[in-house]
Homo-oligomer: A and B are copies of this chain.
Amino acid sequence: MTPPPPINMADVARAAGVSIASVSRALNGAPGVSEETRIRIKTLAEDLSYVVSPDASRLSRRATGRIAVVWPGLATWFYAEALSGILSSVGSAAFDVLLYQVMDDQARHRFFQELPARRQVDAVIVIAFPITDDERRRLELLGVTLVVAGGTIADYPHVRIDDAGAAQQAVNHLIQAGHERIGMLNTVGTWDLPFSAPRDRLQGFRTALAEAGLPFSDDLVVDLPWSSGPGPEGMNRLLSIDVPPTAVFAFSDEIAIGALRSLHRAAIPVPQGMSVIGVDDNPMAQMTDLTTVHQPVFEQGFSAGQLAMNILQGEPVQSPYLVLPTQLVVRGTTGPPDTRSPAWLGTRRHRRRPAAPQP
């Protein structure tokens, strides 16, 4: 990967229409620059991801012995498990882990703005969320190693699953059971950025349908906020379209379990009236007898931590891209559609009734 050209004082001076000496004075807090100019130059330098000299900085920086882990602060099984995996590799080695929570675009922006000022980590491990091109450029200028756990960001080293493949495993299972009208409960980030996991799983969903000669319909894909809560709402939306699906592929087990809740309230039997499959295989999937695609999450965190340490310590890395295998786990929530007596005929009455208030 080729880093973008570093931005130096001359660039800032050119952009600000002042001398390099003025830029230097402004950034170092020396006298001889008006407050107004100082603020303007500082803002410009920040926008241009100014660093004194990226190469010099890279060489002169002593190792801090610290790795930053950035997570979105979603209290879901996936994030807790990935974090635990990272700490199990990194934390038990000589590295300390600085944990940063970025719950929204603003916090994410602040993290990447402030990181240069701190310069206190050797590497950043991002758990499954997207960053902007600007933020990437900032990291590259600082010479900070970036590793992604549970997804991809540009061509950075990462440990992930094959999200498209996992979706295909799930949807092929439904197709093989005889389903022809399949819905998807996907997720969108809490960020205004596209992220690889939902994008790739949607792609896998489409590929599986196409390979089976089944049509794809936008109506059957519902985008939900990225949390464990919105499963029931998503399922209700699929139930409210004119011809609902007979099976649903959910982005996560949490979403799938929420979908089951909605089906239970609507008195639609599972799997006869609706098959449901998730992704993750978290402990609650076992408890609710949910068919799902197992992904090794602790292991993704663990390997991402090892990858970051290997890169930092200059050890040989077989490949900076690790894709861990997923596995279909068939339990009780999937089966053939009940074509002789479609559950819909009997249950549409039910779901038109006002639903019981959500707990």
Residues in A lying within 8 Å of B, measured CB to CB: 66, 69, 73-77, 79-81, 83-84, 87-88, 91-92, 96-101, 103, 107, 118, 120, 227-229, 231-232, 254, 257-258, 260-261, 264, 283-284, 286-289, 298, 329, 331, 358-359
Contacts and interface: CB of A to CB of B under 8 A. Distances in A.
Contacts of A91: 99-101
Nearest to A107: B92
Closest 10 interchain pairs by CB? A80-B80, A87-B101, A75-B80, A75-B81, A99-B99, A228-B283, A73-B84, A261-B287, A257-B287, A97-B99
Contacts of A283: 227-229, 254
Contacts of A101: 84, 87-88, 91
Given A83-B99, A228-B283, A254-B287, 8 more contacts: A91-B99, A91-B100, A96-B98, A96-B120, A231-B287, A254-B284, A261-B288, A289-B359
30 contacts: A73-B88, A75-B80, A75-B83, A75-B84, A77-B80, A80-B83, A83-B99, A84-B101, A87-B99, A87-B100, A91-B100, A92-B107, A96-B98, A96-B120, A97-B98, A97-B99, A97-B100, A98-B98, A98-B99, A227-B283, A228-B283, A229-B286, A232-B287, A254-B287, A257-B288, A258-B287, A260-B287, A264-B289, A286-B359, A329-B359
Contacts of A261: 286-289
Contacts of A75: 77, 80-81, 83-84, 298
B84 A76 contact: no
Contacts of A227: 283
Nearest to A330: B359
Contacts of A118: 96
Contacts of A79: 80
A330 to B, nearest CB: 9
A76 to B, nearest CB: 7
Contact of A69 (B76, B99, B232): B99
A143 B258 CA distance: 47
